[in-house]
Amino acid sequence: MTLKFVAAVACAAVMAGAVGSLSEGGIAHAQGSSVPGKEPDLSGIWDGTTRARPVNSETVPWGKDNFPVLNERAQAYQKVFDEALSPKYDCQPSSSPAIQYDPYSMELVQWPDRVILRYEKDDQIRTIWLDGRKPTIYDWGLQGFSVGRYEGNALIVQTDHFVFDITGFDDYNGIPSSQLKKVTERYWREGNDLKVTVTVEDPMFLRQPASYTTRWIPQRQGYKLAAWDCDPETSRAPVRMMPQKYK
């Protein structure tokens, strides 16, 4: 048996041990995510259909005390906005900060290197990376690119790399959002409830950041998220009954 052969065997054993430790959670440690078992338990299927009204308003997230201060550009977009052209009537999904408040259920799954948010609304899935990775030029999108970390009893999520969306801030008020939009979310448990504060920055349209707080309650045992299955023809049907803003 040669020294080269012995060295090769030893190297292979070390590599096998390294792979084994990664498969048992070593990837999370190597990439700098939270130590498994130390993070708060936020997992579950959460019911957004029967939750109490949000903290900020009696009816919608944006009340008189927290409605964003729109700049001139946003006011101009809002003035000319035509509801009939809203992308939601062509099955385009909602994005932050609207999707967190839509009255549907949401599933939250915690993995060592990521958190998965699966929304019943619009069949959307968001990945919150905990492993320190950075976005690339391919990560621009409707839901942006999200990274997260645990702080005490809370999960902090920061999202950017959004694309322009004509109703990306609020489809009820016709306020767009830009590629400069940044969204920060803080999730925590309060008793049986899952609460979130959503804060939005977008200097293209907002003079200052705006935020709201809302909650989910636990879904009933055995509940499964329903498929959205948006049909473009059905989704577009309400437009035919709308008063036309422009001829």
Task: Classify residue 183: in a domain, yes or no.
Answer: yes
Task: Tell me: cis bond preceding 93? Omega within 30 of 0 counts.
Answer: no
Q: Could you report the per-residue pLDDT of 182-224, keeping only the tens digit for each? A: 999 999 999 999 999 999 999 999 999 999 999 999 999 999 9
The pLDDT assigned to 103 comes to 87
Task: Classify residue 61: in a domain, yes or no.
Answer: yes
Task: Classify residue 18: in a domain, yes or no.
Answer: no
Task: Classify residue 2: in a domain, yes or no.
Answer: no
Q: Whole-angstrom distance between the N-terminal and C-terminal Cα of the chain?
A: 88
Q: What are phi and psi of 184, to 5 degrees?
A: -115, 130
Q: How many separate domains does the chain show?
A: 1
Task: Classify residue 21: in a domain, yes or no.
Answer: no
Task: Classify residue 207: in a domain, yes or no.
Answer: yes
Task: Classify residue 131: in a domain, yes or no.
Answer: yes
Q: Could you report the per-residue pLDDT of 50-102, keeping only the tens digit for each? A: 655 566 665 678 888 888 999 999 999 999 999 888 999 999 999 999 999 88
The arithmetic mean of pLDDT across residues 145-157, rounded, is: 97
Question: What's the longest Cα–Cα distance across the chain?
Answer: 88
- What CA–CA distance (Å, rounded) separates 208 from 60? 20
Q: Are 186 and 205 in contact (CB under 8 A)?
A: no
Q: What angle do CA 127, 128, 129 make, to 5 degrees?
A: 110
Task: Classify residue 13: in a domain, yes or no.
Answer: no
Domain range for 101? 44-241
Q: Rounded mean pLDDT of the chain?
A: 84
